[in-house]
A and B are shown apart, each in its own frame.
Chain A
Amino acid sequence: MTGFLMRRFAAMIALLLVISFVTFSLFQLGPADPASAACGQECTPARVAEARVALGMDKPFLSQYVSYMSGLLDSRLVGAPGAQTVCEWPCLGKSFQTNEDVTAIIERALPYTLSVASGAIVLWTVVGVGLGLLAALRKDKFTDKLIVGAASVGVSLPIPVTGLLLLLVFVSTFDVLPFTTNEISSPFGEAGPGGWFLNYLLPWVALAVLFSAQYIRVTRGNMLETFGEDFMRTARSKGLSRPGIVFKHGARAGITPVVTMLGLDIGLLLGGAVLTEQIFSVPGIGFTAVRAAQAGDLPVTMAITMMAAFFIIVANVVVDAAYAVIDPRVRVS
């Protein structure tokens, strides 16, 4: 097990390096010219060249990459020669727009994304797995058809549609919930857990509608497959009661693929719930990424892309490890 984790860890580092390099190359080779973007509206070729030097873009490509990556190990100096400023470790460069440390920008945005993600994940897991299990237990009965039907609708509702509908109904028309504000970023702040909860309820529901629907389908399908397994028949043959059969023998095997799916979704969501954050104006990672991309703010976009990749890769490793814990057949002896 330890050896397995070590190998996975080494592979993870290698993969991150590759991804960082590819991302870096893409931004370099892309059509956007950070230098002209950085020097603003009224730009002369001379000022673009100046900006190019200031951004370090006059150096060869590889040395730019190495210098960028060195910021992950130690603080480094950025900016034009003579006007250099210190970028504290861990340094991901400075924003073209505000000249702020990218790390600080991410640190500011991350709590919002965590708030959106955490509640949504809990909500969709409870609803999706619960209803999926219920549907499997009531296969072909009315309850099952109702749940499956609702899931089919949920899957086809994109977040902008659900989000806007929720805003229209609960905020504009009935005014029972507040419009999301960027003053609350954690349940431990001034607004308290209640305020935090109400503030993020709508984004959670918007995300949960889509994700629950997927989880219902996967849970139901896996549970039904598990119910057909030989070991379920054995459990019945022992004289176990129905809850014992369903939960102890069925759920553990049937839920396993859902656990791995959940791990990957969490990884994905921590990279920013772009649409949700846009619609509810939550200044999280996704929101920041969109703004940065629109403005051609290379360091911010680059950093967020790498961070998203990081979360997804970490989630993959966690999922593999979780799978080995759940399923003894996967463990390496």
Chain B
Amino acid sequence: MTPLLQVTDLTKHFPVRGGAPGSVAPIFAGPRRLARTLAAPGKDPSSSATRDSARHAESTHQTPRSDPQTSARHPLGSSLLRSQRGLIKAVDGVSFSVDAGQTLGLVGESGCGKSTTGRLLMRLLDPTSGSIRLDGQEIAELRRSGLQEYRRRVQMVFQNPSSSLNPRQSVGSAIAAPLLAQGIEPPGGVKAKVRDLMDRVGLRPDHYNRFPHEFSGGQKQRVGIARALALDPHLIICDEPVSALDVSVQAQVINLLQDIQRDTGVAYLFIAHDLSVVKHFADRIAVMYLGRIMEHGPTHEVFGAPQHPYTRALLSAVPQAAPDADRSGRIRLTGDLPSPADPPSGCVFRTRCPAYAQLGAEHQELCRTKVPHRAVACHHTELVGERLRTAVAATD
């Protein structure tokens, strides 16, 4: 059986440029707005998506030039006043698949390329190379009409429900927008369909003519979900759909997404940094680091018996809401993420790998060579478990 979505060797490179303060416009804007303008000019077609993640990205990204999310916001195209300085490998040969009705969780820390991957799949960005197949049909090369048809089948839910809704558009017309854009007249009319969608996501019919500012964060996210459902898509890309919400509201939205999947059989690509949420939600997991997938497999395997040292470190860093949990044997990563413009050769994780120092010279040699595509992107899967125990014992 072919998977619903098959991604092979997906790659996106962004040119790195010096940030010349080009126009006078940002200068008038005052420091805060200037910072915002520098971080997110919002000129590319994915601007609504980028602004969603801007808050998170701004607060966590590295230096402005080394963050692929920042660079993703700069429109391509040459300019007299800017100079190109190399490439950021935001997504570097990523392969995975999503089966119909299933959920793939894409996890990783900021700058790992998970959001860029989501935007590539939505074709808000054009991939540098690689293949994206939906139901066996290649979509990486699609243009206009083909893309419109594709977007009927793949929809997106964004992180920040406040900025992904137009404040001057009523909730009803926001949900109806995809239907109108695709020129679809559902049986019974658009309004009936919208009311049905609102009912499905737990919004009351009298919310139809209200505006986003009258809603709480959780309700706004319900609107976003209803809008994504309007075209009965086969796949919904959820980019951090609950990370802006409070815990109790987050649970409501997670349950809603699960109910929808049970009822409609839609598949999710669930992009998130919160491992607890992903574990709760996903059937399969792909862990990303510096634009590559470190480990992927069924959730219970990846979280139950992680093989890759990065996955192990990531899992052991999550604070556990259980005071008597066993906290020995923790793996702590040191240092910062290397620049995606200049990633380490071979295994990209080796510079921060806690097991690396424990490996002998001949094993370290192997780490400097490229890791082939496989479920666990590590040269020494068998060795690291033991070496990590040594490493942890040494630091305790």
Contacts and interface: CB of A to CB of B under 8 A. Distances in A.
Interface of A: 3-4, 7-8, 11, 222, 225-226, 229, 253, 256-257, 260-261, 264, 316, 319-320, 323-324, 327, 329-330, 332-333
Interface in B364-378: none
A256 B21 contact: no
Nearest to B18: A332
B383 to A, nearest CB: 40
A12 to B, nearest CB: 11
B19 A332 contact: yes
Nearest to B28: A257
B34 interface: yes
Given A7-B81, A11-B80, A11-B81, A253 B31 contact: yes
Interface of B: 18-21, 24, 27-32, 34-35, 38, 64-65, 80-81, 83
**CB-CB nearest 4 A-B residue pairs:** A260-B27, A330-B21, A257-B30, A332-B18
A254 to B, nearest CB: 8
Nearest to B29: A257
Contacts of B28: 257, 260-261
Contacts of B80: 7, 11
Contacts of B64: 329
Contacts of B18: 3-4, 332-333
A333 B339 CA distance: 15
Contact of B20 (A7, A253, A264, A329): A7
Contacts, number: 53
A327 B81 contact: no
B31 A256 contact: yes
A327 B20 contact: no
Contacts of B27: 257, 260, 319-320, 323
A327 B24 contact: no
A7 to B, nearest CB: 5
A327 to B, nearest CB: 7
A271 B28 CA distance: 21
Given A4-B20, A222-B30, A225-B32, 8 more contacts: A4-B18, A7-B81, A8-B81, A11-B80, A320-B24, A324-B21, A330-B21, A332-B18
Contacts of A319: 24, 27
Nearest to B27: A260
A323 B34 CA distance: 11
A256 B31 CA distance: 8
B31 A320 contact: no
A273 B21 CA distance: 29
Contacts of B65: 333
A324 B19 CA distance: 12
A21 B81 CA distance: 22
20 contacts: A4-B18, A4-B20, A7-B20, A11-B80, A11-B81, A222-B30, A226-B30, A260-B28, A261-B28, A316-B24, A319-B27, A320-B24, A323-B21, A329-B34, A329-B64, A330-B38, A332-B19, A332-B20, A333-B18, A333-B65
Contacts of B19: 330, 332
A226 B31 contact: yes
Contacts of A260: 24, 27-28
Nearest to B81: A7
Nearest to A315: B24
B54 to A, nearest CB: 16
A60 B255 CA distance: 77
Contact of A264 (B24, B34, B38): B24
A253 to B, nearest CB: 5
B32 A327 contact: no
B25 to A, nearest CB: 11
Contacts of A264: 24
